[in-house]
Amino acid sequence: MKENDEWYTPKEIIESLGVFDLDPATSIEAYNQNQSAKKIFTAKGNGLKQEWKGRIWLNPPYSNPLIQQFLTKMAEHNNGIALVFAKIEAKWFHDIVLTHATAIKFLYNRIRFYKPDGTQGMQPRNGSMLVAYGRNNAEILMNNKIKGKFLFL
Ligand SMILES: C[S@@+](CC[C@H](N)C(=O)[O-])C[C@H]1O[C@@H](n2cnc3c(N)ncnc32)[C@H](O)[C@@H]1O
């Protein structure tokens, strides 16, 4: 478990985007905080090697190559919403996200993620984006109240 991957999504962000069937990249500590999906995979079970079914919530590990691998699998699955840093110079953004996703919302406010002990971190240096895969998820993201600029790709 890499410590810098352990930053968890505020529960209200996930809840505002509807019910998810699977979070393939999480931990028990994260699940206790945000109940991200009906089913989860953790590093121990390696979500990359499992079968993904239904609507996916994905806030992947940020380290390479895990982020590329998770975003590639998300693109192939094409049903769900991902939350990643708005790193528009990243190779994964150009080669994986922009070429496969259905829509993006660049968030106006930076997200203060949570740590495994349940405390909230400081404001991060980077902003984030929500990425939708599939028309249904794009429409949910478009109509969602989280402030940001929504774009169909
Ligand atoms: C940025 S955190 C996000 C957690 C959760 N998805 C959320 O939205 O709060 C990424 C999580 O992926 C986990 N992880 C790392 N490698 C993994 C793997 N191969 N399979 C499943 N989970 C993994 C990390 O331990 C970490 O808890």
- Ligand 1 nearest-atom number relative to CA 1: 25
* Ligand 1 centroid to residue 59 C-alpha, Å: 7
pLDDT digits (tens, 9 = 90+) for 6-64: 999 999 999 999 999 999 999 999 999 999 999 999 999 999 999 999 999 999 999 99
CB under 6 Å to ligand 1: residues? 1, 5-9, 23, 25-27, 30, 34, 36, 41-43, 46-48, 59, 61, 66
Query: What pLDDT sits at residue 73?
Result: 98
The number of domains in the chain is: 1
**Residue-number span of the structural domain to which 113 is assigned:** 3-152
Q: What is the enclosing helix (H) or strand (E) of 140?
A: helix 135-143
Q: Please report, for the domain that includes residue 126, its CATH number.
A: 3.40.50
Structure tokens at 115: 């740590």
Query: What pLDDT sits at residue 124?
Result: 87
Q: Whose CA is nearest to atom 11 of ligand 1?
A: 26
pLDDT at 1 over 70: no
Please tell me the distance from the alpha carbon of residue 133 to that of residue 56, in angstroms, as a whole number.
9
Q: Is the pTM of this model over 0.85?
A: yes
